Amino acid sequence: MSDTHAQTVAFVRETEIPQSPPPALEAGAVKWVRENLFSGIFNTVLTLLALYVVVRFAIFVFPWFYNGVWEASSRKECLDILREAGKGTGACFAVLVDRWDHLVFGFKYPQDGYWRILLAFLLLIVAAGPALFSSLPRRMLLFTAFYPFLAFWLVWGGSLWLPLTILGLIIATMLVFRLISSQIPVNIRQIVSGVIGVICGAGLAYLLFIGAQELVFIANSVGTEGMIAPIAYGVFWIMAIFAFVFCVPMGIFVGYAIYNSYEDGGLVSIVASLLFGYLAFVYLLSPIWMALNSIIPIELQAVASRDMGGFMLNMLLGTICVSLSIPLGILLALGRQSPMPLIKGVCVVFIEFIRGVPLITLLFVANVMLAYFLPPESNFDLILRVIIMITLFSSAYIAEVIRGGLAALPKGQYEAADSLGLDYGQATRLIILPQALKISIPGIVNVAVGLFKDTTLVSIISMFDLVGMIRGPIQNSTEWTSVYWEVYGFGAMLFFVVCYSISQYSQWLERQLNTSHH
């Protein structure tokens, strides 16, 4: 073959040309720039414009950062240092150094107790681990369950025996539930059901009777003068009459319903354990922990809720409220789907009411209005009130997100669960919720991130969280008035780090749970 064209063609290449690099304009960074930044007139103009803005911004900001003063005791001193060094612009980061403790821990938390907060935070990572990453050993969940009690002790101080006793009573309550629901024979349970039915029926009737008297008292103290008072008077009287009329029938009805549940044990075990838990907390809690504490005192310096502050307060509120509102939200979402009209009605009214009210209003109610309703010396902690309000608020939103997930499940999933013979609890736990929650992850994370940032709203009700600390004591101190960019920038950075981590985690989790392309 090689000499076929020997007479007709002057030259035939017999070896392959070695590979040469692509032209300089079509490779590497140059190609990327040409394709992505200068691929046309319009894009070129945009690129140059953006470049101009970025450079101007950098020229503006970089010296400010670079000249930053880290050591000074007041803003005046900062300005003097900059002036002496002949620098026109410069940040006064000294405020962060000077007030670091205040920004992070609040200005009243005892300084020798900072390690407690740090330890609680580190343990939080350990405790949250098994809940967030399924690859970690399941046994670590035991620590997660124990963590809230430990963290409470570390942050608030006092006696270790208080949270331990609470934990013990919770376990005892759960044992009572198991005992009545599955451990004792039916004929004994029948007797137990009868006794508890009588107690609860009589108790409820008595409560309604007292409530009716209270309503009459309120109606009479409201009076009938003015525009609105007669309406309130009428409403309170109608409620009172209802309570009077129905106190005995309601008692009998509920008592009988409890007695009647002796065969499957559902209702009676719930009621009995609630009753037990209530009595235990009222009558056993303080004697037990005080006795234990007098035998073996394990105490940390107690810190009042009012003394919490800084970013720690945001973390505290964020963590507690997110972890409480997700289970509550799941319950509300399931309740809203329930075929039972009473449960469904309560859930719908609750969700719609909470979603219709701004969070700041709820916080004002927690801070200001509740103070009117509670006796002056009542020991109802401000942080606890705020936690309850934020939790209720976000649980309503999470409930709606999860309801979206439930609605997105094909009806076949519910029917398949039924056809396997699973009861409601099993079907929900094993089939429905895992799928619904997977769909809901982006929405839940969205709510969680929003909630975490909303915790700064407590600064409006004069709690010194990070923002409250900046707006209040720091900017109004004689040394640091008119320091803005440094402190707010620092706050923004802290929040960004936390919120960005949460969103990265949720994206990772979505990829982990993605089962659609196997």
Partner 1 sequence: MKKSVFLGALTVAGIIAGGASAATLDEVKARGKLNCGVTTGVPGFAEPDASGVWQGFDVAVCRAVAAAVLGDGNAVEFVPTTGKTRFTALASGEIDLLARNTTWTFSRDVDLKFEFIGVNYYDGQGFMVPKELGVASAKDLDGATVCIQTGTTTELNLADFFRANSISYEPVPIETGAEAVQQYIAGACDVYTTDASALAAQRANFEDPSAHVLLPEIISKEPLGPLVRHGDNEWADISRWTLNALIAAEELGVTSVNLEELSAGTENPEINRLLGTEGELGSMLGLDAGWAKAALGVAGNYGEIFEQNIGAATPIGLARGLNAQWTDGGLIYSPPFR
99 binds partner 1 (CB under 8 A): yes
DSSP assignment of 475-505 equals TTSTTTTT--HHHHHHHHHHHHHHHHHHHHH
Residue nearer to partner 1 on the CB measure, 78 or 451: 78
d(CA 324, CA 392): 9
385 binds partner 1 (CB under 8 A): no
Chain positions 211 to 230 lying near partner 1, rule: CB under 8 A, are: 211, 214-215, 217-218, 221
For residue 313, give both structure tokens.
């307060």
What is the C-alpha R_g of the chain? 33
- How far apart are the two ends of the chain, measured CA to CA in Å? 52
Picking from 266, 278, 97, the residue whose alpha carbon sits closest to that of residue 189 is 266
Chain positions 448 to 507 lying near partner 1, rule: CB under 8 A, are: 460-462, 464, 468, 471-479, 481-482, 484
d(CA 330, CA 326): 6
- Write the CB contacts of 67 (distance below 8 Å, at least 6 apart in sequence): 82, 85, 87, 89, 90, 91
How many residues of this chain bind partner 1 (CB under 8 A)? 47
367 binds partner 1 (CB under 8 A): yes
Cβ at position 300, least distance to partner 1 in Å: 19
Determine which residue in the list 23, 40, 376, 425 makes contact with partner 1, applying CB under 8 A.
Answer: 376
207 binds partner 1 (CB under 8 A): yes
301 binds partner 1 (CB under 8 A): no
Determine which residue in the list 102, 189, 385, 403 makes contact with partner 1, applying CB under 8 A.
Answer: 102
122 binds partner 1 (CB under 8 A): no
70 binds partner 1 (CB under 8 A): no
Picking from 426, 398, 209, the residue whose alpha carbon sits closest to that of residue 321 is 398
87 binds partner 1 (CB under 8 A): no
Cβ at position 349, least distance to partner 1 in Å: 17
Q: Strand, helix or coil at 349?
A: helix
d(CA 438, CA 409): 11
Segment near partner 1 (CB under 8 A); pick from 51-59, 248-256, 369-377, 410-418: 369-377
Residue nearer to partner 1 on the CB measure, 98 or 454: 98
349 binds partner 1 (CB under 8 A): no
Residue nearer to partner 1 on the CB measure, 338 or 477: 477
Chain positions 256 to 285 lying near partner 1, rule: CB under 8 A, are: 278
For residue 235, give both structure tokens.
């409403």
Segment near partner 1 (CB under 8 A); pick from 74-82, 123-131, 136-144, 190-198: 74-82
Picking from 308, 318, 317, the residue whose alpha carbon sits closest to that of residue 498 is 318
Burial-class residue 72 by CB neighbours within 10 Å (0-12, 13-18, 19+): buried
d(CA 452, CA 322): 8
Determine which residue in the list 203, 277, 404, 489 makes contact with partner 1, applying CB under 8 A.
Answer: 203
Cβ at position 305, least distance to partner 1 in Å: 12
Determine which residue in the list 31, 108, 344, 453 makes contact with partner 1, applying CB under 8 A.
Answer: 108
- Name the one residue in this structure whose structure tokens are 């900001």: 61
- Write the CB contacts of 64 (distance below 8 Å, at least 6 apart in sequence): 89, 90, 91
Determine which residue in the list 37, 47, 76, 172 makes contact with partner 1, applying CB under 8 A.
Answer: 76
Q: Which residues pair with 158 in a beta bridge?
A: 300
The residues that touch partner 1, with contacts defined as CB under 8 A, are: 75-76, 79, 98-99, 102, 107-108, 203, 206-207, 210-211, 214-215, 217-218, 221, 278, 306, 367-369, 371-377, 460-462, 464, 468, 471-479, 481-482, 484
